[in-house]
Amino acid sequence: MDAISVIRTKRDRGELSPEQIDWVIDAYTRGEVADYQMAALNMAILLNGMNRTEIARWTAAMIASGERMNFDSLSRPTSDKHSTGGVGDKITLPLAPLVAACGAAVPQLSGRGLGHTGGTLDKLESIPGWRALLSNEEMLHVLDTTGAVICAAGDGLAPADKKLYALRDVTGTVEAIPLIASSIMSKKIAEGTGSLVLDVKVGTGAFMKTIEDARELASTMVALGTDSGVKTVALLTDMSTPLGLTAGNALEVRESVEVLAGGGPADVVELTVALAREMLEAAGIKDADPAKALADGSAMDVWRRMIAAQGGDPDAALPVAREQHVVTAPASGVLTRLDAYDVGIAAWRLGAGRARKEDPVQAGAGVELHAKPGDTVTTGQPLLTLHTDTPEKFDYALKSLEGAFDVAPAGTAFTPNPIVLDRIA
């Protein structure tokens, strides 16, 4: 078998055979298939799709490329969450310790930023000393002693996905539903969690722009999880406006700590609690109240232990960008739109994301929001503050914000989208 024949099959809208899928995933993992060849196949999949049989086999092949973990030794039921990626989506940071404070164990394997969306590991690495890379033994120890762990997937866990994940980010193939579904579910099934809640984003700042595409992705992943014995449910959530008031790395960590302290933006708190309830129900924990665990400080206690257990200092000052630029309201009235995608691109261009898979990210870079849709603003009032260590990036970031927001006359009625749009189980 050879890479060219596999590429041609999908290029010509054919169905990949189980043998072709098994071979190409194994050969790419071993380095026999080159990055440029897999990039061509990924693009063919993006353009021509895969059927359910192909997606299931692709996912199984990625799982088979490495090891599978087991948490049977834990005294708690396990529950995990995965987001398909958004702008300002820092939910994992307060969510994992919150669910742990309510009695479940949360083995949260997270990733780096993809395109305009932020990565949980990039955010947490802005905390001095914090380590994303843990051995399986270290991961199990942190999980057993604190109730939650957020870390990178080890080299032995779905290594095919690790290579594909980075390649998709820099070849314009992030949005392919089969590749998103298999990437997420191969890691989650191999991880060994007992239950899984998926946060599938919908809107301009998400990879799924329409509710129909989001339902297709969610249904695909729920089926993959269920067929593998993992209790899986998905929430479709709005990503037309950034979540919270920050998009970046250290900026989002700061906001997450505010949520754990009982404050923070209302939309972040609402979604965190909604996902916590789903995770606890999936884990079979019926009597815990996540809202109470946020209010009484128990979730914050788990956060501090979790960060410290991974080498981080929960009391350390977070990095701050050296330069700021303020974007002001062009008129007085009601802010009726603040486009999540445009804000995400601005944060990426400021240094919060990467253009190549080997690029570093700036811990302090990003965008701070001073108003959200529905708020009344006045001419000259700060709307956004841009943060970066490299001020020459401001002009490039500002171009992405041209047309990113609308201000309507005072008194204009505004109805926000609900945070949770649908539930698929």
Contact 85, 123 (CB under 8 A): no
Q: Which two tokens stand for residue 230?
A: 């993992």
Alpha-carbon dihedral sign for residues 380, 381, 386, 390? positive
Contact 51, 15 (CB under 8 A): yes
| Residue 168 among the catalytic residues | yes
CA distance 84 to 379: 36
Q: Which of 57, 112, 187, 188 is catalytic?
A: 187
The alpha helices in 245-404, defined as continuous H runs, are 250-260, 266-282, 290-295, 298-309, 340-347, 394-400
CA atoms within 13 Å, Cβ hemisphere of 105: 22
Q: Which of 112, 168, 215, 231 is catalytic?
A: 168
Q: Are strands 376-377 and 405-408 parallel, antiparallel or unpaired?
A: unpaired
| Residue 161 among the catalytic residues | yes
Q: Which of 183, 228, 240, 256 is catalytic?
A: 183
CA distance 251 to 88: 9
Look up residue 67 and give its amino acid.
Answer: E
DSSP 74-100: -SS-BEEEEE---SS--THHHHHHHHH
Residue at token pair 């240094």: 351
Distances (CA, A) of 368 to 54, 114, 172, 205, 352: 42, 20, 27, 16, 12
CA distance 343 to 350: 11
Q: Which of 10, 57, 81, 82 is catalytic?
A: 82
| Residue 183 among the catalytic residues | yes
Three-class DSSP category at 256: helix
* Segments of 43-188 assigned E as strands: 79-83, 106-110, 148-152
CA distance 31 to 161: 13
Q: Which of 22, 122, 161, 169 is catalytic?
A: 161
Contact 390, 397 (CB under 8 A): no
- Give the active site residues: 82, 161, 168, 183, 187
